[in-house]
């Protein structure tokens, strides 16, 4: 068996490096789309695994966290599967900035309130397609549009930059803290 000449190896490595660089640049430029797709993929895998096992543990925990951030009590177990479908479907839209965090909080609380009032037992449960259609209807009804200055979620947002942190020393110093510029892009 004859080994490839060095020039051929160099060309292969150069092409491989070029593909990695171009792919990396493309992913970096579209990172909010990638983050949204990964979030939706992960949440759908959580739902699939729990649907096959017949449990609600992880979905209940995720929704309880969402509700806690919205100062709401955790949803009843009857509402968890459909609400989790709603969160899964809206996650990629939030990541890309298509729907702002403020709007998604309103849509989620509205959807949960309507479920609680109209179908407190969670039945009949809407299919994923029906939940998607309802989400689209709400977006159209409220005329929600992506803001031109909204980039979506970036890797730095997930990792945190520390710009939005106010230290205890700053608070105790008595100096004015301009909250409008905290976390603002420079």
What is the predicted pLDDT for the residue at 186?
Answer: 47
- pLDDT surpassing 70 at residue 162: no
Instruction: For the chain, give the percent of residues with pLDDT over 70.
Output: 90
Task: Give pLDDT tens digits for 39-52.
Answer: 999 999 999 999 99
What is the predicted pLDDT for the residue at 183?
Answer: 58
User: Residue 98: how many CA atoms within 13 Å on its side-chain side?
Assistant: 15
> Exposed, middle or buried: residue 91 (CB in 10 Å: 0-12, 13-18, 19+)?
buried
Read off the pTM. 0.75
What is the predicted pLDDT for the residue at 86?
Answer: 97
Report the alpha-carbon angle 41-114-110, nearest 5.
65
- pLDDT surpassing 70 at residue 74: yes
Find out whether 128 and 82 touch, Cβ atoms under 8 Å: no
- pLDDT surpassing 80 at residue 4: no
Q: Given pLDDT bands bounded at 50, 70 and 90, which one contains residue 3?
A: low
What is the predicted pLDDT for the residue at 40?
Answer: 95
Instruction: For the chain, give the percent of residues with pLDDT over 90.
Output: 58
Span between the terminal Cα atoms of the chain, in Å: 58
Task: Give pLDDT tens digits for 20-70.
Answer: 988 888 877 888 888 899 999 999 999 999 999 999 999 999 999 999 999
Using the 8-state DSSP alphabet, how is residue 4 labeled?
A: P
Helices (H) and strands (E) in the chain, counts: 8, 0
């Amino acid at each position: 068996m004859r080994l490839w000449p060095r020039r051929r190896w160099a060309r292969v490595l150069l092409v491989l490096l070029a593909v990695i660089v171009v792919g990396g640049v493309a992913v970096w430029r579209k990172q909010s789309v990638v983050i949204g797709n990964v979030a939706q993929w992960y949440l759908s895998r959580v739902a699939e695994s729990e649907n096959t096992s017949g449990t609600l543990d992880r979905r209940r925990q995720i929704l309880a966290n969402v509700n806690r951030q919205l100062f709401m009590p955790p949803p009843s177990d009857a509402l968890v599967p459909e609400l989790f479908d709603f969160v899964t479907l809206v996650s990629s839209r939030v990541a890309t900035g298509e729907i702002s965090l403020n709007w998604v909080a309103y849509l989620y609380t509205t959807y949960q309130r309507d479920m609680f009032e109209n179908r407190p037992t969670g039945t009949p449960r809407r299919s994923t397609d029906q939940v998607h259609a309802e989400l689209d209807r709400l977006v159209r009804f409220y005329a929600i549009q992506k803001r031109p200055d909204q980039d979506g979620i970036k890797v730095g947002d997930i990792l945190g930059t520390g710009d939005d942190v106010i230290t205890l020393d700053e608070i105790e110093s008595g100096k004015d803290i301009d909250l409008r510029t905290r976390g603002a892009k420079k």
